[in-house]
Chain A
Amino acid sequence: MDFNLSREQRMLRDAANDFLANECPKARVREIEKSADGHDRALWEKMGELGWMGLIVPEAYGGSGGGFLDLVVLLETMGYHLCPSPYFATVLLGSVPILACGSEARKEALLPELAAAKRIATLALTETGGGIEAEAIRVPGRIRGSGFEIDGVKLFVSYAHVADVLLCAVRTDESAVPEMGVTLFLVERDQPGISIGPMKSLGDERPCEVAFSGVRVTEGEIVGGFNRGWPIVESVLGKASVALGAQMIGGAQAVVDMALQYAKERTQFGHPIGSFQSIQHYFADMWADILGSRDLLYRAAWKITENLPAAGDVAMARARAGKTYRRVTTLGHQIFGAIGFTEEHDMHLYHRRSIAMDLALGGAECSYRSIANGLFDEAGA
C-alpha cells in the first residue's frame, strides 16, 4: 500500500493551487457566478494552456495521457478553489465517453479540440423524472427516413448554454430491456430544433433545460453503437461520480481550513473560540470526516485507474463525499456564526455547492441503493 500521491501528482496539485489562487480568487469566483453565462473564456483558455482539459486524453489526440487518478487530484484542487467552469461537463461528460467509445474518426476530430479548450461538450441525460437509471431515459429518437428524429426535454444539462456539442442519451428501442434500448448521439448545439434555457440552481454546475423539437440526426452521429449507449453512460457516471466526490472533498477541506484560521483568531469571553471544547470537537469530527471520505474516494479512483471492478467503491465514495461536504459546511457555519450567514462572507459559496453537488447525478440516495443491491446480490451468489 501507498497512501502518498506521486511526485508528479503533487506537482500537479501545487501548480493548480498556485494558478487558481492567482487567477481565480473568491472575488473572481463571485464575478463569474454573477455573469450571465457563468463562464469566463479567458480563464478557460488559460486552463487549456495548462493542459487541464487534455489531462486524461492520450497524446495522440492532443492530450498529455495522464491517468484518472491524476484527474481526481486536479478536481480536488478545483473544488477547493471553487473554480466555476464547464470543466466537469467537458472532460467528464464529454471527453470520457468519446474516449471510451467514439469512432477513430470522431476521436481525431473532436478530442484535440476539447483538449485544447477550443470546444465545450456536455451530456444531456436526465429527464423530468430526475433519475439516472436506464428506465428513466424516455425521450425518443425515432427512425425518420435514413436518420432519426429526437423530440423531448432533457433537464439538468450542465453548461449546455455554452456547449458546442451535446451528447444526448435517447430511447431508440421501446420494447427492449431498458439498458438495451438507449443510444448516444453527438449533436451540435446550434442545430435547428434545439432550445436551451437556464434552470437556476444554488450550485455552480449551471443546469439547463434543453428542448429537442424534431431534431434530425444520422447514424454518423451515434457514439458507441445503436442501442449500445447505456453501458457508456454507466461508465461515465462511475467516473463522474468520483470526480464530483473529489470536488466535494476539496470544498470541504477549504471550509475546514478557513474555519481553523478563524477559530484561532476570533476571541470571545477573552479566549480564542478555537480553545473551547465544543468548537474543538467540531473540528475533530470535520477532520475525521474528510480524511475517511478522501481515502474512500482515492481508493475508488485508484481502482478505476487500475481497471479493477469499482462499482461498490465508487458508490460508497460518492455517497460519503456528499454527506461529508454537507456536514462540514453545516459545522463550518456554526463556527463562523452570524458573519457566515452574510452574502459578503465566502461560506455560502461552499454551503450552496455542497447541497447541489450532493444531489447531482442521482444523489447520494441513488448510491446507497446501488450499494444495497450489491450487498444483497453478492452475498446471495
Chain B
Amino acid sequence: MDFAFSEEELGFRREVEVFAREELPADWDDRALYWPAGYGTMSNFEAEFKPFCDQFMRKMGKRGWLSIGWPVEYGGMRSMMKQAILDDVLTYYRAPSGEVSTIIGGHTIIGVGSDEMKRKWLPRIAAGEVRFWLGYSEPNAGSDLSSIKTSAVDRGDEFVVNGQKIWSSAAHIADYAWLLAKTDPNASKHAGATLMLVDNRSPGITIRPIINICGIHSFNEVFFDDVRVPKENVVGGINQGFYCVMLALQYERIFVGAGTFRRVLEELIQYVKENVGERIAPCDSGGIKRKLAELATEIEVLYGYYWRTAWMMDQGLIPEIESSILKLFATELSRTLASTAMDILGPYGPLERGARWAPLKGRISLGYLDAVSGPIGAGTSEVQRGIIATRGLGLPRR
C-alpha cells in the first residue's frame, strides 16, 4: 500500500492552484455560491456566469485539462487521479470544473463513437468549444429511466424527435442536447433507446426555465416538436442507448465537489474561532468543536472513496460499487454538512445572502436548500444503494 501522491501529481496540483488563483476574478469568492455535491448552485449552470465559464473552460482546454482522463491516443493524459486532483483544487475555489461534454460526452464517444464522430467532436470538446446538456429524465421517467417516452422515428437520413425532457441543467446555455430517446417502441423496457446529439438551435425545440429551490435558474424543461436530427449525430449503436448511458456513469461520479467540502470546513472553523464569546457561547464551544471533528473525519472518509475510485479507473478496474458509494456518501455528507453548519450558526444560519447579518456570505442558508438536490439528482441515494446491494454484493433483485 502507498497513500502518497507521486511527484508528478503533486506538481500538477501546484500548477492547478496557480491557475485557479490567476484566472479567477478578484470578486469571484464573493459571487461563487457552489455548495459541495449540490446541483442547484453550480456557476456553469447559470446564464450570468456563462461568458466567464466559456472563457475559463477554453483556458483549461488549452492546457489539455478538459481531456485529462481520456486515453493518450485521443489527446488525453489517461489519468483519473489528475482529473480528481484538478476537480479537487478547482472546487476548493468554487470554480467551474467538469462539463457534460468533457466527462460524459468525451468518455462515451471514445468508448462507442464512430471514427468520424471522434474526429468531429473530440477536438471541439477538448478545447472547451462546445457544451452539452443531459437529456435523460422525463416527467414520468426519473429513477426509472427505462420508462422514457420521448421518441425518435427513423426517416432514412434523420431521426424525428418528439417528447419532453425535464430537470435539464444548463439546457438554456449549452449548445447540444445529449439526448436519450426511444427508437424502437416495441422493444422491451430496457432496450430500444438511442443516444444522440441534438443541436439546441434546431427548429421545434422549446426550452422553459424551472427556478430551483435556491431561486436560481439552473435547470429547465425542454420540449421536442418534430425536431430533425441527422443520423451522423447518433452516439454508439442504434437501440444501444441504455448501454451507452451506463458507460460514462463511473466517470461522472468523481465530480462530487471534493474541494468545496474542505473549504466549507475551513470556513466554519474560522467562524467558530472568531465567534466564541460573540455569537457562540463559550459553554457551547466544546460541543461545536466535537461536531467539526466528526465532519472533518467524514470528509477524510469521502477523500478515501474519492482517491480509491480514481485510482481504480487508472488501474483499468471498473469501480462500480466504489463510484456509487462515492456519489451516495458525498451527497448525503453535503446534507449533513449544511445541517451541522446551520446548528453552529444558530439563529444567524437562516439569514439569506445579501442580508446584513448573514454569516459566511449567506452561502450556508443557500447551501442548506441546495443540499436537498445532491441525494436526488444523478441517481438518487436509493438507486445508488440498490446498485451497491445488487450489482455489488449480489443480493437478489426479487
Contact of A288 with B329 at beta-carbon distance under 8 Å, contacts A296-B301, A316-B296, A316-B297 already known: yes
A298 adjacent to chain B (CB < 8 Å)? yes
CB nearest neighbor in A for B322: A291
B56 adjacent to chain A (CB < 8 Å)? no
Residues of B within 8 A of A1 (CB): 2-5, 81, 307, 311
Contact, CB under 8 Å: B388 / A274: no
Contact, CB under 8 Å: B305 / A271: no
Contact, CB under 8 Å: A288 / B293: no
Residues of B within 8 A of A3 (CB): 1, 308, 311-312
State how many angstroms separate the Cβ of A292 from the closest Cβ of chain B.
4
Contact of A285 with B3 at beta-carbon distance under 8 Å, contacts A291-B305, A369-B293, A375-B289 already known: no
State how many angstroms separate the Cβ of A345 from the closest Cβ of chain B.
21
State how many angstroms separate the Cβ of B25 from the closest Cβ of chain A.
27
Contact of A295 with B290 at beta-carbon distance under 8 Å, contacts A1-B2, A271-B398, A371-B296 already known: no
Q: Which parts of B55-92 form the interface with A (CB within 8 Å)?
A: 81
Residues of B within 8 A of A263 (CB): 395
Contact, CB under 8 Å: A288 / B328: yes
Contact, CB under 8 Å: B1 / A4: yes
CB nearest neighbor in A for B289: A372
Q: Could you tell me the distance between the alpha carbons of A317 and B211 in the complex, rounded to whole angstroms?
A: 42
Q: Could you tell me the distance between the alpha carbons of A380 and B276 in the complex, rounded to whole angstroms?
A: 14
Contact, CB under 8 Å: A292 / B301: yes
Query: B298-313: contact bitstring with A at CB < 8 Å (1 yes, 0 no)?
Result: 0011101101100110
Residues of B within 8 A of A368 (CB): 290, 293-294, 297
Interface-side segment among A191-199, A201-209, A247-255, A276-284: A276-284
A338 adjacent to chain B (CB < 8 Å)? no
Residues of A within 8 A of B384 (CB): 284
Contact, CB under 8 Å: B273 / A380: yes
B188 adjacent to chain A (CB < 8 Å)? no
Contact of A303 with B3 at beta-carbon distance under 8 Å, contacts A3-B311, A292-B305, A320-B297 already known: yes
A369: contacting residue among B272, B290, B308, B388, CB under 8 A: B290
State how many angstroms separate the Cβ of B217 from the closest Cβ of chain A.
34
State how many angstroms separate the Cβ of B51 from the closest Cβ of chain A.
36
B120 adjacent to chain A (CB < 8 Å)? no
B393 adjacent to chain A (CB < 8 Å)? yes
Residues of A within 8 A of B397 (CB): 275
Residues of A within 8 A of B329 (CB): 288, 292
Query: B268-283: contact bitstring with A at CB < 8 Å (1 yes, 0 no)?
Result: 0110110000000000
Q: Could you tell me the distance between the alpha carbons of A3 and B304 in the complex, rounded to whole angstroms?
A: 10
Q: Could you tell me the distance between the alpha carbons of A372 and B293 in the complex, rounded to whole angstroms?
A: 5
State how many angstroms separate the Cβ of A68 from the closest Cβ of chain B.
11
A293 adjacent to chain B (CB < 8 Å)? yes
Q: Which parts of B296-347 form the interface with A (CB within 8 Å)?
A: 296-297, 300-302, 304-305, 307-308, 311-312, 321-322, 325, 328-329
Residues of A within 8 A of B3 (CB): 1, 298-299, 302-303
Residues of A within 8 A of B294 (CB): 319, 368
Contact, CB under 8 Å: A284 / B385: yes
Q: Which parts of B245-304 form the interface with A (CB within 8 Å)?
A: 266, 269-270, 272-273, 289-290, 292-294, 296-297, 300-302, 304
A316: contacting residue among B300, B325, B395, CB under 8 A: B300
Interface residues on B, range: 35 or more
B382 adjacent to chain A (CB < 8 Å)? yes
Contact, CB under 8 Å: A319 / B297: yes
Residue of B4, B270, B384, B388 with highest tally of chain A CB at under 10 A: B388
Query: A258-288: contact bitstring with B at CB < 8 Å (1 yes, 0 no)?
Result: 0010011000000110110101110111011
A6 adjacent to chain B (CB < 8 Å)? yes
B395: contacting residue among A4, A275, A303, A375, CB under 8 A: A275
Query: A344-366: contact bitstring with B at CB < 8 Å (1 yes, 0 no)?
Result: 00000000000000000000010
Residues of A within 8 A of B185 (CB): none
A168 adjacent to chain B (CB < 8 Å)? no
Contact, CB under 8 Å: A299 / B325: no
Main secondary structure of the interface of B (DSSP, over half): helix
Q: Could you tell me the distance between the alpha carbons of A280 and B273 in the complex, rounded to whole angstroms?
A: 42
Residues of B within 8 A of A69 (CB): 1
Contact, CB under 8 Å: A302 / B393: no
Contact of A2 with B393 at beta-carbon distance under 8 Å, contacts A295-B304, A316-B300 already known: no
B386 adjacent to chain A (CB < 8 Å)? yes
Residue of A4, A6, A274 with highest tally of chain B CB at under 10 A: A274
Contact, CB under 8 Å: B300 / A296: yes
B396 adjacent to chain A (CB < 8 Å)? yes
Contact, CB under 8 Å: A295 / B301: yes
Residues of A within 8 A of B396 (CB): 264, 271-272, 274-275
Contact, CB under 8 Å: A287 / B292: no
Contact, CB under 8 Å: B269 / A295: no
Residues of A within 8 A of B328 (CB): 284, 288
Residues of B within 8 A of A6 (CB): 1
Residues of A within 8 A of B213 (CB): none
Contact, CB under 8 Å: B1 / A287: no
B304: contacting residue among A285, A296, A303, CB under 8 A: A296
CB nearest neighbor in A for B304: A295
B202 adjacent to chain A (CB < 8 Å)? no
State how many angstroms separate the Cβ of B9 from the closest Cβ of chain A.
8
B390 adjacent to chain A (CB < 8 Å)? yes
Q: Could you tell me the distance between the alpha carbons of A225 and B329 in the complex, rounded to whole angstroms?
A: 47
Contact, CB under 8 Å: A299 / B304: yes
Known contacts A284-B392, A319-B294, then 18 further A-B pairs from the complex at CB < 8 Å, ordered by chain A residue? A1-B5, A1-B311, A2-B1, A4-B1, A264-B394, A275-B396, A280-B395, A283-B389, A283-B393, A288-B305, A292-B301, A296-B297, A313-B300, A320-B301, A369-B290, A372-B292, A375-B296, A380-B273
Tell me the B residues contacting A by CB distance below 8 Å: 1-5, 81, 266, 269-270, 272-273, 289-290, 292-294, 296-297, 300-302, 304-305, 307-308, 311-312, 321-322, 325, 328-329, 382, 384-386, 388-390, 392-398
**What are 29 A-B contacts with C-beta separation under 8 Å?**
A1-B81, A5-B1, A69-B1, A264-B394, A264-B396, A271-B396, A280-B390, A281-B386, A283-B395, A284-B328, A284-B385, A284-B389, A284-B392, A285-B385, A287-B321, A287-B325, A287-B393, A288-B329, A291-B325, A292-B302, A295-B304, A298-B1, A319-B297, A369-B290, A371-B293, A375-B269, A375-B296, A376-B289, A380-B273
Question: Nearest 5 pairs between A and B by C-beta?
Answer: A295-B304, A280-B389, A284-B385, A371-B293, A292-B301
